[in-house]
Structure 1
Amino acid sequence: MSKRHPIIAVTGSSGAGTTTVKRVFENIFRREGITAAVMEGDAFHRYTRVEMKERIAAADREGRPISHFGPDSNEWEALEGQFRDYGRQGRCKSRFYLHNDREAQPHGQEPGTFTPWQDIAADTDLLFYEGLHGCVKTPQVDLARHVDLKIGVVPIINLEWIQKLHRDTRERGYSTEAVSDTILRRMHDYVHYICPQFGETDINFQRVPVVDTSNPFIARDIPTAGESMTVIRFRNPSGIDFPYLLSMIDNAFMSRANTIVVPGGKMDLAMQLILTPMILRLMDMRRAQHS
């Protein structure tokens, strides 16, 4: 952790909704005049799309699991190195993984490839990471220890699968069968590397639908915000003004001493109310270190 160069990480699995949370942070940064360096977790995949397909085929022949969730397919040591560099000096490198033609065309590259590594912009106030592995801990790496504010985005698993199925079939051109195979292939790594991160996070936002999602593979629509509740768990509830949150968010209630539940349509408001003062505290500590 670094008071001088703070790092915020939003972590969640594919289709969990971390991109939506990213937009909330962007609004806070813009409103508060905060300049953030943005780092995408997909930048630290180890293989291009073509290379990954080759690794998956080989792993299937050998009867062993491999997925984008696990260590074999990611550069976690490189990611930890960039976190460390930013915490020490406010500078690091990143790149982009180009998911589709729309993202790839401006770079003159093929989808499923990476842009070259580049230095992030100078003179940023903080580093903002959004992706799969912002809080991973293994015997080899400990990403969580470098992060000052750790946010988990964790819809219940059926909802997560529905969101992934709709995104990957409608936006990325995959078949339902291909997405289902990916979900199955990732399960070992999901259990061992994705789930444990949510024990490291400072706050978890878990979206829970209140409509039937029993069979996510035949769901015609993603449950709307109005058909959901959001469970917000604080690792350390000390200093959280729960009476204020309850007064500001209609129909919110507390389910445990460290947990507040809000209507799904109020999730953005809840995030703004909860995260803005936390980010401003990081900025106050940063300014104190630079004075």
Structure 2
Amino acid sequence: MSKQHPIVAVTGSSGAGTSTVKRAFEHIFYRDGVTPAIIEGDSFHRYDRFAMREAVAEASKRGENLSHFGPASNLFNELENLFKSYGEHGTGKKRYYLHSEEEAAEHNARLGTNLGPGQFTPWEDIPSETDLLFYEGLHGGVVTDEANVAQYVDLLIGVVPIVNLEWIQKIHRDNAERGYSAEAIVDTILRRMPDYINYITPQFSRTDINFQRVSTVDTSNPFIARDIPSPDESFVVIRFRDPKKFHIDFPYLLSMLHDSFMSRRNSLVVPGGKMGLAMEIILTPIIEQMMGERNR
């Protein structure tokens, strides 16, 4: 961990709501004039989109499960090395995973390359003079026998809906945005389950702050749900591992977030529609504290 070059990581599986946290941090960075080095978790996958399909097929022939959640398809050591390098010197290497034609066109224009969706850009140096490293992806707090990414993170945020809600969000997103059938999506969920249990879930015991969305409607069979529960049909449970670490003022939070309440001594519950507001109110003083310590 580093006061001079702090690292903030947001971890959660795809479709869990990490983009909501990312937007909250973008607002904080803009208002406070913070320049982040932004790292996308997808850029540390081992395979591009086409090679991953082949690797999954080969693993299936061997009776093995290969998924983006596990170490076999990710560069955990390289991610750990980046966090270590940035914490010590404010430097490191990054690249981008191109999700769409638009992203490919943007980076091709910048780099003079001819890459397409599903490919990686070449590795490049993180810009100098950044204030902190901001990671958003699957493995910001991952620990394995070979790699320990979590040890270098100064603020680790977890975003995880209850599992049935997570599945509903994934089924709807992959069907609407990627055209996958419900059967194919369920097959993917099942294939990923061992890695989800071993490498994703344990991270949420290491997070400094965890945001868990809990629906207030029946999600007992996520595979037949017609709609994703709306924010107004849910609560968000916010758990602080050590409230003293970041000087969490619960009376202040309760006064600022209408209809919120404490469920345990370290857990705050807020209406689902106030999730973004809660994130900004909670995280702004933490980032300002980090920047104050960095400047001193």
TM-score range relative to shorter protein: over 0.9
Structure 1 residue 26 corresponds to structure 2 residue 26: yes
Deviation at 1:268, TM superposition (A): 1.1
Q: Which residue of 2 aligns with 1:167?
A: 173
Residue matched to 1:15: 15
1:192 to 194, 198, 206: 198
TM-fit CA distance, 1:233: 0.2
- Asked if the contact 1:9–1:149 (Cα under 8 Å) also holds between the matched residues in 2, the reply is yes
Supply the AA of the counterpart residue of 1:61: K
- TM-score by length of structure 1 reads 0.96
Deviation at 1:87, TM superposition (A): 0.6
Q: What's 1:247 paired with?
A: 255
Give the fraction of aligned pairs with identical amino acids, expressed as a percent: 64
Mapped partners of 2:126, 2:174: distance in 1: 29
Which stretch of structure 1 is more off in the superposition, 89-98 or 25-34? 89-98
Distance (whole Å) between structure 1 residues aligned to residue 232 and residue 289 of structure 2: 32
1:204 has 2:205 as partner: no
Aligned to 2:89: 89
Choose the corresponding residue for 2:277, options 246, 269, 273: 269
Gaps of 5+ in 1: none
Q: CA deviation at 1:99?
A: 1.9
**Residue in structure 1 matched with residue 140 of structure 2 by the alignment:** 134
Cα pair 1:37 1:121 within 8 Å, conserved: yes
User: TM-score with structure 2 length normalisation?
Assistant: 0.95
Contact 1:152 1:205 (C-alpha < 8 Å) held by counterparts: yes
What per-residue deviation string (whole Å, max 9, x for no partner) do you get for residues 85-115 of structure 1?
1111111111111123332343342221111
Q: What SS is found at the alignment partner of 1:270? A: helix
| CA RMSD in angstroms, aligned pairs only | 1.1
Which stretch of the first structure deviates more once superposed, 218-227 or 251-260? 218-227
1:198-249 deviation line (CA, Å, top 9, x unaligned):
1111000000111111222222221111111000000002231111111111
Q: Which residue of 1 aligns with 2:160?
A: 154
Equivalent residue letter for 2:41: G
Q: Name whichever of 4-13 and 87-96 sits farther off.
A: 87-96
Range with greater deviation from structure 2 (115-124 or 102-111): 102-111
**Alignment-derived partner of residue 111 in structure 2:** none
Residue 216 of structure 1 aligns to a residue whose secondary structure is coil
| From 242, 259, 278, the counterpart of 2:286 | 278
Matching residue of 1:61: 61
Contact 1:226/1:264 (8 A) holds in 2: yes
1:216 maps to 222
Aligned amino acid, residue 77 of structure 1 = N
2:218 counterpart SS class: coil
Instruction: State whether structure 2 residue 264 is matched by structure 1 residue 287.
Output: no
**Structure 2 gap ranges (5+):** 109-113
